[in-house]
Structure 1
């Protein structure tokens, strides 16, 4: 590295000595010749003012008595025009009025008497210049601090603008990603419904369930205001709940679950886990996959695969269980007998508190009554009775089918005593118990309107 330049070196202190006596100036010059000062000498106030106007002066020491202008006045002018200069009064006579003027108007740092003590003189000048330099450094640092604060404010303002702009960009990017992710989820939801058609190709039309399960779940979500995310997950779960069955044989695919024997029953109990495993690798499908995993859990904890109980079962899984069983009961996939919609709902009610969430079940029944045209269970003019509760003159509200699907009695049939006895005997012979839907006379509807149908 090179030597520091002259411009970089601190300048020497400028000292101006003013006295009308050449001898005094000569003696002061000799005293200060070894000090790091640039000395300026003046024999009058006028000469001193000229030097102040053209030279950088740090300390002005003036004799009290000068021709044309006394030293106190000179110091007062210097204080007015050059307030940063340190001022000292040198007096040979104790003129109190002049000293007071120098203090009050000239704001002198100190006053010294003639003759002076050299050591005291040197110490006074050194202290005065040290004070001057300290004050100048303080002012420089204050100015630097103000400048840096100003620059810092400008930088902060610029940084805030950049941060705000960047935040806006990031938010816009995040919004776009959220939108893209929502679009991806929507695409997945649409794709799952299309894929469910492939699952249905393994089944004859009379055994296909996915479309009806999807529509039931959607109807429930619409009526009960389920949020969009849960509605989408439930829709995907309804579309693909039985994807784990694709590896089954054709005969097992159409067999009622109640008639399966070991090892087919064990394979049946494994299908929710198989379905979940196939879907868990697809991130947008993971929540739907969890609903599928637990849709065969039972309210009393006797279900599979994890024996969850009560509200530990995810809400979506409880709802999916109701929709799946309601449709599969009508397709002969749970029991050998094909039930109609009302019979399926009666069956679900029979197992409320065991297989199904009781409160959710009642909400589901109301949705079915509002959504499906063939459901009469919510009709106050229809009552469900057992065969031994039947009486002459009652009118069937729905067809009565045997467990094997054979039509026993058609809707609108008026019952008589022998017909009721035959029905009771047929039940005993078949080991069955039927739920019979009866149309109430108009005068009895008010009595039964608020009653829950009896499960036989």
Structure 2
């Protein structure tokens, strides 16, 4: 695997020096690092020593033909892209190479320069995607381990509280809220993965999620639907995780037909990624329907009228509003006032007029519960304090969600991180309520009393 800062490495294998020279001249303007081998054995030796992204091999070579060579490449370096050049009409040999070496493309000699360059570029794109997928899987594995450790620590705190609480119902309420917070935190962390990519916008998904939830509240969809809309806002771009960086940065209005076809599938990919999670079934549906229009001209299902869920429309207006301002929708970057006019212009075609009205009211809404908090330095954190605002890195990546209760272990880690990295962190902790109760640590509800 090559480093992202290094050029892609392409290995050409052919027993004719003139062919190798021609191939090297062909790809030189592409900026690739080129390796040459006069035969399969020499190619395997180079692969054992050098990081290679794509192999282009001739079929007919003495001692070891292309089918045998590419089969060994697949067995020893399965992620390396494999392209076969065949100069004779032996269909059986080509089929053997496809089956044994699992090549991605075979191109006949004499080759078409443009076709070969496109094949190499496609193989490199596949390679980059596989590398990104493995990195994502490793990141997910690491985060799962961290969540398991957090849950283990959470269980210890729950067990300690059960010794202090006299009411079983109060214990269950606290436990449920903590599990819920952990689940919501995992959603926020997962939604930030795409924002770490080049072309991602730090905090973009949280902006969309908050505005979409306020719109759903104005539509009176109910608390459960508001939570689903908020989660869908956090995860509405998760289907773009496999996009190349260039496509992430490209405005929708400038995409070509191929790019647009790929873009239009991101809602389906997002739904597929979320469906295995039982708690996110409704969220997955909203992610799928975020680009539907009430006039039936949306995608992927061409829904129209009342068939387009109001929750999906709440997500759509919020997403389009910020997309217009961030340059994701068109090359022109809209001001907030222009973006609002764009939304108003879509009433009756893109969005239900009732949704547009609710959206405009949501823009004027302020947080219902403004936190009573104060800013402190990392060295002043104490166990038991409650985080009042999301804790972000300087690049906007979420570290801890608001409402997190600091324990001794986390206090030590925050202090060490700030000291080691020399990072200035804006930490806000909640002040005690007027009755002296620390927010996030409510007293048990008396048995028989209603729960707020």
Scaled by the length of structure 2, the TM-score of the pair is 0.41
Relative contact order higher in (CA < 8 Å, ≥ 6 apart)? 2
Give the structure-1-normalised TM-score. Answer: 0.41
Rg comparison, structure with higher value: 1
